[in-house]
Structure 1
Amino acid sequence: MIKKQAYTVELRGTSYEIGFGFGEFVKENPALRVVHTAGFDRFDEAGAKQAAELFDRWCPGLAEELRGFADALEAKPSQIVYYAMTYLRPRCSQIAVLPGISASGNPLLARSYEFSPDAEDFTLVRTSVTGKYAHLGTSVLHFGRDDGFNECGLAVTMSSCGFPVGALPYMRSPKLTGLQFWAVIRALLENCKDVPEALYYMKDMPIAFNMNLMLVDKGGRAALAETLDGRMAVKQIDHSSADQLLYATNHPLMPDLVPYEPQAMRNSLQRYELIGHSLRGKGEITEDELKQLLLGKFPAGLSCPYYEDFFGTTKSMIIDPAKGTVELCWGGRSENGWHRYDIREPLADSALDIELHAEEAYPEFFESVPISAN
C-alpha cells in the first residue's frame, strides 16, 4: 500500500503574486518542494532564457509566475525544474459524452490518469490570474495542468499518444523544440472560452509532446486533437453530429497519423475497446455509469494498479463544464472517495490522506501490437 497526501490550493492575483504565494505554500509543505533541475546538465541560464521567450509567446504570464515562485524560495528561475521538464528540445483514458446521450443533458468529460505516484503532484488548484480566465484543475510540477476546466465552460484533458515524450532518459525524445502538454493545457484554460477558440489558439503552437487532447465546452462541442512528432489531426463533433461520443486511450486514432505510429500497447487497444463496448450505442449515460467504468479494475474497468511500472491510476475525474463542477477520486480507488468541487467556490487549502494499492503488471499488458489488429 502506498500512502500519499492530496492537496487543494486557491491561487489568486497577478502572475508574480500567484507564483510567490505558491512558493510560500510549498515552504509550509516540504513534500511539494520541487526546485532544482538536478539531472539536466545542459539546462543553463541560456536555456532558461529561450524557454521564457517561448512561454511569453504561448503561455503569457508563466515566466513571471515562475520568477515569483523562485523569489519566494530564494532560488534562480533557471533552477525551477518546470523549465527543464516543459521546454523540450529535439497514459490514460478519456471520454467525451455530449448532451444527446447524457442523462443529465449536459456534456461530460471523464478521464483516468495513469503514471507513477512519484511523478504526480496530487494537487487540485483553483487559479485566478489577473486578466485571464479562472480555472480549476490538477497540477503537474506545480505550474502546469494535467487537466481542468475554466469559468467559461471549456474543459480539457489528455492522454499520451504512443510512448510518452519527455526530457527524462527513459522517455521518448522530442522531434521538435516546443512545449510539454501541461503548458499547452494551462494556456488553453487561461486564454480560450470554448472549443473553436482552443483549436485556433493551438493551430500554430509548437507542441513537442505526442498526445490525444480532448476538448469539451458547455455549448455541447467536443474535439479530439491528436499530435504526433509535430503533426496534428483533429476530429470534431457537436449537438448536430450523429455520433455524440468521443474517446481515446494511448494510441493514434486519426487515419492521417496511424501510419507514423502503427504499433500500440495491447492494454491501450483493450481500454479503447472497453470504452466503446461499455458506452457506444447507449443513451442516457449517467455519471454513476462513468464512475463505475473509471474505478473498475482493469480489464473490466479503467483503473490500473501498476504503479511500479509507471502505469498506476493516480486520479479519476468527471467534469461537467456546464455546471462548473468536477468530481475527483484520487488513486482510482473508491476507498479514497469522490470529492466534488465547484469553480465558483474558493478552494480551502487542505491536505487529504489517500492510499494507493500497487500490484505487478503481467508481461502481456505492455506488449506492442499492430493498431490495425484492433
Structure 2
Amino acid sequence: MKNLKACYYELEGTNYEVGKLLGERMKAVPQFVDMQKIQKSPFSKEEEIQIIEMFDEYCPGINEEIEGFTDVLGLDKFQAIYYIMSYLKPGCSQMVVLPQKTKNNHVLLARNYEFNDEMEELILCTTRIKGKYAHIGTSMIQFGRGDGMNECGLGVSQTSAGLPVSDFEWSRKPAIIGLQFWAVIRSILENCKDVNEAIKYMQSVPIAYNINLMVADKMGNAALIESLDGKKAIKSISANTKEQFLCSTNHVHLEELKKYEPKSMKNSVVRYGLINKYLNNIEIVSQDNLKSLLSTIYPEGLCCHYYEDFFGTLRGMVFDLNDGTVDVCFGSTALNEWHTFKIGNNKKYSEYPVKIIKDKAPKDFYELI
C-alpha cells in the first residue's frame, strides 16, 4: 500500500494572470524550479518561431500563460517543460452513453486513466480564462488537460491509440509535426461549445500524438475521433442512430485506420470487449453501473494496479453533461472514495488522501495480437 495526495483548485483571470498563479504555486516546489532552470531550450530559433505560431493558431492563450509562469520563476519561456513535451503515454478506457440508454436520461461520459503514480500530478482544477469557456478537468504538465467538461455541457476524454508517441527512446516517434493530446483537449474545452465544433477543430489541427478522442455534448451527440500518424477517422452517434454508446481502449477501432495499425495489445482488446459486453447486457445504464465497471479489478473490470509497468489506475471519472457534474475517484478506483464536483460550486482548494497498491502485470498483458 502506498499513500498519495490529490487536490482540487481553481484558476481564474487572463491567460497571463493564470500563468503567474501557477508560477507562484511552483515556488513551493524548489526542486521543480531548479530542474527547469538547468533545462536548456532544445529548439532552434526557427523551431521556436514555429512553436509560437502553432500554439497561437490552435491553442490560443497558452503562449501568454507560459510567459506569465516563466516570468514569475525567472525562466526563459522555452525552458518550460510543457513546450518540450507538447511539440510533436498511458493506457485508458472510456465510454459515452446517450440519454435513451441512461437511467436519468442524461449523457454520461466515463473513463479510467492509467499510468505511473510518480509521473502524475493528481490535480483536478476549474479554469476560467477571460473570453473562453470555463471548464473543469485534470491538469497535465500544468497547462494541459487530460479530460474535462466545459460550461456548455461539452465533455472530452481520450485513450492512446497504440504505443505512446513522444521523442523519448522507449516510445513511438512522431510521424508529423504537431501537438500532444493534452494541448488539443484544453483547446477544445475552452473554444468549442458542442460536438460539431469539436469535430471541426479536430479536422483542422495537426496532432502528433496517436489518440482516440471522445467528445459528447448535453444535446445528446457524441463522436469518437481517431488520429493515427496524422490520418483521422470519425464515428458519430446521436438520438437518431441505432447505437447509443461508444467506447475505446488503447488500439485503433475504426476501419479506415485499422489497416495502418492491425495489431493491438492483448489488454486493450480484453478491456474493449469487456466494456461492449457490459453495456450491451444492461438495457438502461446508471452512474453506479459505470462506477462499478471502472472500480472492478482487471480482467473482470477496468481497474489496474500495475503502476511500475506504467499501467496503474490514477483516476476514474463519470461526467453528467446535463447536470454539469463530475464524480471523481482519485487513485485506484477499487480502493478510494468518489467525490462530486461542479464548475463554480466547489471549495477553492481541497485535498484528498489517495491509496494505491502495486501489483505486477500478467506476462501476456502487453502481448500484441
TM-score scaled to structure 1, two decimals?
A: 0.94
Corresponding residue for residue 259 of structure 1: 259
Give the match's secondary structure for 2:69: helix
Give the match's secondary structure for 2:110: strand
> Which region of structure 1 is more displaced relative to structure 2, 63-72 or 325-334?
325-334
Structure 2 residue identity aligned to 1:327: D
The answer on 1:60 being equivalent to 2:67 is no
In the aligned structure 1, how far is the partner of 2:142 from the partner of 2:252?
Answer: 28
Structure 2 residue identity aligned to 1:96: V
In the aligned structure 2, how far is the partner of 1:154 from the partner of 1:33?
Answer: 35
In the aligned structure 2, how far is the partner of 1:241 from the partner of 1:258?
Answer: 23
In the aligned structure 1, how far is the partner of 2:30 from the partner of 2:158?
Answer: 29
Aligned residues: 367
Q: Retained in 2: the 8 A contact 1:37–1:84?
A: no
Q: Retained in 2: the 8 A contact 1:35–1:81?
A: no
In the aligned structure 1, how far is the partner of 2:173 from the partner of 2:39?
Answer: 16
In the aligned structure 1, how far is the partner of 2:34 from the partner of 2:191?
Answer: 27
What are the within-5 Å matches in structure 2 for residues 39-188 of structure 1? 42-43=42-43, 46-88=46-88, 91-188=91-188
In the aligned structure 2, how far is the partner of 1:9 from the partner of 1:167?
Answer: 31
The answer on 1:327 being equivalent to 2:307 is no
In the aligned structure 1, how far is the partner of 2:243 from the partner of 2:149?
Answer: 23
Shift of 1:335: 3.2
Corresponding residue for residue 360 of structure 1: 360
Change in Cα spacing, 1:302 to 1:33, as seen in structure 2 (3 Å) is farther
What are the within-5 Å matches in structure 2 for residues 290-369 of structure 1? 290-369=290-369
Give the match's secondary structure for 1:163: coil
Structure 2 residue identity aligned to 1:150: N
Structure 2 residue identity aligned to 1:195: V
Deviations 1:257-311 (A, max 9, x none): 0010000000000000100111115322011111010010000100010000111
Structure 2 residue identity aligned to 1:217: D
Give the match's secondary structure for 2:297: coil
Change in Cα spacing, 1:317 to 1:279, as seen in structure 2 (3 Å) is same
In the aligned structure 2, how far is the partner of 1:93 from the partner of 1:182?
Answer: 16
Shift of 1:204: 1.5
Corresponding residue for residue 268 of structure 1: 268
Structure 1 residue identity aligned to 2:82: Y
Change in Cα spacing, 1:258 to 1:26, as seen in structure 2 (3 Å) is same
Deviations 1:44-102 (A, max 9, x none): 555333212110000000000000011111111111100010011xx110010000100
In structure 1, runs of 5+ residues without a counterpart are 370-374
Corresponding residue for residue 209 of structure 1: 209
In structure 2, runs of 5+ residues without a counterpart are none
Q: Retained in 1: the 8 A contact 2:332–2:355?
A: no
In the aligned structure 2, how far is the partner of 1:186 from the partner of 1:297?
Answer: 30
Following superposition, which runs of at least 4 residues in structure 1 exceed 4 angstroms of deviation?
29-35, 37-41
Deviations 1:168-221 (A, max 9, x none): 221110000000000000000000000001101121210011011000100010
> Which region of structure 1 is more displaced relative to structure 2, 330-339 or 285-294?
330-339
Give the match's secondary structure for 1:138: strand
Give the match's secondary structure for 2:203: coil
Structure 2 residue identity aligned to 1:317: M
Change in Cα spacing, 1:262 to 1:312, as seen in structure 2 (3 Å) is same
Q: Retained in 2: the 8 A contact 1:34–1:80?
A: no
Corresponding residue for residue 372 of structure 1: none
Shift of 1:333: 2.9
Change in Cα spacing, 1:37 to 1:141, as seen in structure 2 (3 Å) is farther
Q: Retained in 2: the 8 A contact 1:23–1:70?
A: yes
Deviations 1:85-124 (A, max 9, x none): 0011xx1100100001000100000000111112211000
**% identical aligned pairs:** 44
In the aligned structure 1, how far is the partner of 2:100 from the partner of 2:30?
Answer: 46
In the aligned structure 2, how far is the partner of 1:35 from the partner of 1:151?
Answer: 36
Q: What is the RMSD of the two structures over their aligned residues, measured on CA atoms?
A: 1.7
Structure 2 residue identity aligned to 1:6: A
Deviations 1:137-158 (A, max 9, x none): 0011010000000000000000
> Which region of structure 1 is more displaced relative to structure 2, 317-326 or 49-58?
49-58
Change in Cα spacing, 1:235 to 1:35, as seen in structure 2 (3 Å) is farther
TM-score scaled to structure 2, two decimals?
A: 0.95
Change in Cα spacing, 1:145 to 1:248, as seen in structure 2 (3 Å) is same
Give the match's secondary structure for 1:263: coil
Corresponding residue for residue 234 of structure 2: 234
In the aligned structure 2, how far is the partner of 1:278 from the partner of 1:353?
Answer: 30
Corresponding residue for residue 6 of structure 1: 6
Give the match's secondary structure for 2:197: helix
Corresponding residue for residue 282 of structure 1: 282
Change in Cα spacing, 1:251 to 1:164, as seen in structure 2 (3 Å) is same
Q: Retained in 2: the 8 A contact 1:37–1:81?
A: no
Shift of 1:41: 7.0
In the aligned structure 1, how far is the partner of 2:168 from the partner of 2:365?
Answer: 23
Change in Cα spacing, 1:34 to 1:112, as seen in structure 2 (3 Å) is farther
In the aligned structure 2, how far is the partner of 1:321 from the partner of 1:34?
Answer: 41
Q: Retained in 2: the 8 A contact 1:221–1:236?
A: yes
Structure 1 residue identity aligned to 2:309: D
